Structure 1
Amino acid sequence: MLVLSEDSSRTTGKDARQSNIAAGKAISESVRTTLGPRGMDKMLVSDDGDVVITNDGATILDEMDIEHPAAEMIVDVAETQEEEIGDGTTTAAVLTGQLLSQAEELFEDDVHPTTIVEGYHEAASIAAEAIDAMALDTEIDAEILFRVAESSMTGKGTGDVTADKLAQVVVDAVQAVRSGTDVARDNIQLQTQSGASSSSTELVEGIVLDEEPAADAMPRQLSNASVAVLDVELEVSTGDVDAEYSVDSVDQLTAAMESEEQELRDYAQQIADTGVEAVFITEDADDRVLSYLARDGILAIDGLSDSDATSVANATGAKRIGDLNDLSEDSFGSVEQIRIEKFDEDELTFIEGGEAADAVTVFVRGGTDHVVDEVERAVKDAIDVVATTVETDAVVPGAGAAEIAIADRIRDEADAISGRKQLSVRAFADAIDALPRTLAENAGADPIDSLVDLRAEHDSTGRAGLIAEGRTAEVGDPVEHGILDPAQVKHEAVKSATEASTMIARIDDVISSS
C-alpha cells in the first residue's frame, strides 16, 4: 500500500536518530572552538561577498545557511539564550551537542529514549539546585557588575581596547537607567562609527542621531538650548484636489511666486518668534524655509524617523507638535548641549544632558567596520548580562567553576537514582564536564589533566576554575580573579540545552516531502 507520495522520503528508527544527532553535533562543533577567553574567531562569507568575523555563537549560527531541521533546533537554542539573557549562546549550543553525543552512546547501550529524557530532566533539576548553591552571598554593587561585564567581554574581538575599559562604559550605562532591580534596557542605545580606535568608545548621556543639519549655514554647536519636535510639513501648501491654474500674465506669475515665498517665510518666522534654538522635524522642509532658519541661527534637522523623533522628545522633554500654531515655550524641551561632529564623510548629532533625559547612548568606535561590528556585539552582550545580574541579584563563579560544581553534584545524587535512569543522569554530568574541558583545550592546556586538576581543587576548596593569564591556563579561584557570571546565564543554558536535546532524542521517524 502506498501511503506517502512518490516525492516523499522517510527515515525511521536508528537511522533517524543518528541523522538528527549527527546534525546537532556538527552545529555544536562549529562553535565549540569559540568558547572562553581564548576562543577563536570565525569568518563567515555570504554569497554576495559580505564578510562577518566574530566569535559570538548566536551571530555565527544566525549567519550560517542551515537546512537540517534538527540542526535548526540548536540554532533556536542559541537565539533563545540571546533573547532571554544576551550571553552564553556558545555554552548553550555546545552543551546541547554534548548531551546529544552522550545520548547516542546510551542508545548504543540499549537505553530507551524515554529513560534518557527522564534522566536528563532530573539531572537538569539537580543542576539548577547546584547553580543556586554556587551563587555568591554578596551585594550586587558596581564592583560586582564591573566584574560581570569584564568577564563577558574578555576574549572577544574588541580591537585595541582591553575589556576593563569597555566594562566601565557598560556599567555606567546600566547604572544610568537602573531603578533598584529594574533596568530600562530600551533606554540604552548603541551607535556605531568606524574610523577611530576601540578605546574611543564612550558613554553619551543622551542620544546620538545619524543625522546632520539641514543646511550648511546652521550652527554646529549649541549650549543650554531649547528644543522643539515638529510633525509638520514645512513646504508650500497644496490642495487635496488635483487642479490646474491658468496664468495669463507675468504679474500673475510673480504674485503666485511671491505668495509661495511669503508662506515659506511665515513658517520660518513663526518658528523664530517662539525663541526656539533647535527644531527636529519628521516631515520634509523646503530649502527656503531652512535657509531662513539658518539665517536666524536656528539648527534644524528634517526627515527624522518616527523613532528618532520619539527619542529626541524623551531625551529633551519636548512635546511633539502637529501644528505650528501650537508651538510655544510650553512645548519646548531643553538640553545642555547639542553638537554636530564630522566623522570622515558622515556627520552625527549628539544631544546631551536633556532636561528629561532617560536615555543614554554607548558610542561604539572601531578602526574598521569589522572591528566596530564585533565591539558592538561585545558591548550589547555585556549590557544584557549586567542588566540580568541587576534584575536577578545573583552571580556565580565563572571560568568553568560553576560547571565543575554542577557535574560534581549530579554525580553525588545519581547514586540514589535506581535503574537505567542513573546512566542518563551520569551522562548529563559528563556532558557538563565538556564545557570546562573545552575551555582548557581552547586555552592551549591539556583538557584531561585540567579536568582532573579542577575536580581535585573543587573537592579541596569547593570552588575551582580555569584561569587564563598570559600564555598559561592555571587552576584557581575565579572569585579572587574577578571572573563572575550571572547565575541566570547558567540556568538558561542548562534549561534550553536540555529541552532541545531531549526533543531531538525522542524523534524516531523523519518524514519529508517535496
Structure 2
Amino acid sequence: MLVKGVVIDKTLAHPQMPREIKDAKIAILTCPFEPPKPKNTVRLDIASEADYEALRKYERETFETMIKQVKDSGATLAICQWGFDDEATHLLYHHKLPAVRWVGGPEIELIAIATNGRIVPRFSELTPEKLGSAGIVRELAFGTGRDHYLCIENCPNTRAVTIFIRASNSTVIEETKRALHDAMCVVRNLVRDDKIVYGGGSAELACSIAVSKEADKIVGLEQYSFRAYSDALDAIPMALAQNSGYSPIDTVTQLKALQIEQNNSAIGVDGMNMGTNDMKSQGVIETLQAKKQQLSLATQVVRMILKIDDVRLPNDEQPSMFGM
C-alpha cells in the first residue's frame, strides 16, 4: 500500500482516544510528560498521608501544566519521543489531547520533515509556528493479530511517502523491497538522463551487428577481438530466448536477419508471446544510462582478466620469486 505520508509502528496512548484526526496540528516533543527530576542524587521521604497527597497533587499539577502548554499552542495531537505513565495518559484523555508515546528518534525526524514541524525539546518553547500539520492522522489495523499502525497522511511535504509491505514471510518482503528498489533506480536513471533503448535484447543485437560490420573493415588481429565482442553481445538475447523456451541460436540468427532486413533496431526476443518482436510496440524499454553502465562494467572485467599472465595453484611445484 502506498501512503502519502509517514507510517509508524505505534498506536495512540489511550484506547478511547479518537482513531482518526482530521486537519491535525502536531506537537513533536522530545521532552517527557513527567515531573522534572533533580540533577543530583536526592532522597524523598514520605512520612505521612499528607506528604503523599502533596506529592500526588504536585505531579498532577505538573502534568496539567504541560498539557495546557501543548493545547494553548493549538496542537490537536502530541507525538512524544519518551513515554508517560498511566496518570499522564488519563489526564491527556481527560483533556481531549490524543498522544503517541515512545516514538523513536529517526521516526521523529521523518515526521518533522514530512509535516514541516519543529522538534521541541521543552514545553515552554512550544509555539503555533513550530507545529507540524497533516490532512489526516489515523490508526490502521492489519492481519489476523490486528496489528495497529499510525498513518500520518496528506502532509505539506508531498515528497514524503511510505510504501507499506506485508507478506507471509520475510523472504517475500525482502524480494518485494528489492523489486521496488530496482524500479526506483530505473526512475532515478531516467531523471538523470531521459534517453532510452528498447529491451528484449534488441539493443545488444543492434550493437552486435554494428561491431560485426566494423570487424569486416579491419585487416589484422584486431578483427578477432571485434568478433569476440560481437559474440559476447549475443549472450544476453540468447539467454532471454532460452528462458522464453525458444532455441537460442535459431532465435538470435532470425532476429539479426530481421533487424538487417527491416532496418529496425527495436526487434528483440518476444518473451511475453505477444505475437510481435517489435519491442517498441510492446513498450519494453531500458534506460540508456543503465545499458551503458552494464556494457562498460562487463568490458572492464574482461580487461582485468586479460591482464592476468598466470594463475598459481596452492600445491604447485613452481619455484617462487625468491628461488625457495
TM range (shorter): 0.7 to 0.9
Structure 2 match to 1:393: 194
**1:338 and 1:349 in contact (8 A); partners too:** yes
Deviates more, 1:487-496 or 1:503-512: 503-512
Give me the whole-angstrom Cα distance separating, in 2, the residues matched to 1:236 and 1:328: 21
**1:340 and 1:348 in contact (8 A); partners too:** yes
1:478 pairs, out of 279, 288, 298, with 279
Give me the whole-angstrom Cα distance separating, in 1, the residues matched to 2:44 and 2:166: 55
Offset from partner CA, 1:423-456 (integer Å, 9 cap, x none): 2232122111010000010111111111111101
Map 1:38-437 onto structure 2 (within 5 A). Answer: 201=1, 203-344=2-143, 345=145, 346-366=147-167, 369-437=170-238
Distance change in 2, residues 1:378/1:434 (3 Å): same
Offset from partner CA, 1:165-194 (integer Å, 9 cap, x none): xxxxxxxxxxxxxxxxxxxxxxxxxxxxxx
Give me the whole-angstrom Cα distance separating, in 1, the residues matched to 2:278 and 2:94: 65
Aligned residues: 309
* Structure 1 residue 474: Cα displacement: 5.8
Map 1:482-501 onto structure 2 (within 5 A). Answer: 482-501=283-302
**2:27 and 2:70 in contact (8 A); partners too:** no
Give me the whole-angstrom Cα distance separating, in 1, the residues matched to 2:179 and 2:154: 26
Give me the whole-angstrom Cα distance separating, in 2, the residues matched to 1:291 and 1:505: 74
User: Could you say which structure has the greater relative contact order, defined with CA pairs below 8 angstroms and 6 or more residues apart?
Assistant: 1
* Structure 1 residue 306: Cα displacement: 2.3
Give me the whole-angstrom Cα distance separating, in 2, the residues matched to 1:256 and 1:213: 28
1:222 is paired with a residue whose SS is strand
1:466 aligns with 2:265: no
2:162 is paired with a residue whose SS is strand
Give me the whole-angstrom Cα distance separating, in 1, the residues matched to 2:215 and 2:42: 85
Offset from partner CA, 1:95-122 (integer Å, 9 cap, x none): xxxxxxxxxxxxxxxxxxxxxxxxxxxx
Give me the whole-angstrom Cα distance separating, in 1, the residues matched to 2:124 and 2:203: 63
2:134 is paired with a residue whose SS is strand
Give the counterpart letter for 1:478 in structure 2.
Answer: M
Give me the whole-angstrom Cα distance separating, in 2, the residues matched to 1:431 and 1:475: 25
**1:404 and 1:433 in contact (8 A); partners too:** yes
1:340 is paired with a residue whose SS is strand
Deviates more, 1:378-387 or 1:244-253: 244-253
Give me the whole-angstrom Cα distance separating, in 2, the residues matched to 1:488 and 1:277: 48
**2:7 and 2:152 in contact (8 A); partners too:** yes
Offset from partner CA, 1:243-271 (integer Å, 9 cap, x none): 22333333323322332333233222322
Give the counterpart letter for 1:271 in structure 2.
Answer: V
Give the counterpart letter for 1:466 in structure 2.
Answer: V
Give me the whole-angstrom Cα distance separating, in 2, the residues matched to 1:281 and 1:314: 16
- Identity percentage of aligned residues: 29
Give me the whole-angstrom Cα distance separating, in 2, the residues matched to 1:493 and 1:235: 58
Give me the whole-angstrom Cα distance separating, in 2, the residues matched to 1:417 and 1:287: 85
Offset from partner CA, 1:70-126 (integer Å, 9 cap, x none): xxxxxxxxxxxxxxxxxxxxxxxxxxxxxxxxxxxxxxxxxxxxxxxxxxxxxxxxx
Give me the whole-angstrom Cα distance separating, in 1, the residues matched to 2:288 and 2:297: 14
Structure 2 match to 1:452: 253
**1:366 and 1:375 in contact (8 A); partners too:** no
**2:9 and 2:148 in contact (8 A); partners too:** yes
Give me the whole-angstrom Cα distance separating, in 2, the residues matched to 1:439 and 1:509: 33
1:480 is paired with a residue whose SS is helix
* Structure 1 residue 413: Cα displacement: 1.8
1:468 is paired with a residue whose SS is coil
Distance change in 2, residues 1:504/1:253 (3 Å): farther
Structure 1: gaps of 5 or more residues: 1-200
* Structure 1 residue 377: Cα displacement: 2.2
1:290 is paired with a residue whose SS is helix
**1:316 and 1:354 in contact (8 A); partners too:** yes
**1:465 and 1:475 in contact (8 A); partners too:** no
Query: TM-score when scaled to structure 1?
Result: 0.56
Distance change in 2, residues 1:451/1:275 (3 Å): same
Select the structure of larger CA radius of gyration.
2
Higher helix share: 1
**1:227 and 1:276 in contact (8 A); partners too:** yes
Distance change in 2, residues 1:205/1:467 (3 Å): same
Give me the whole-angstrom Cα distance separating, in 2, the residues matched to 1:379 and 1:235: 43
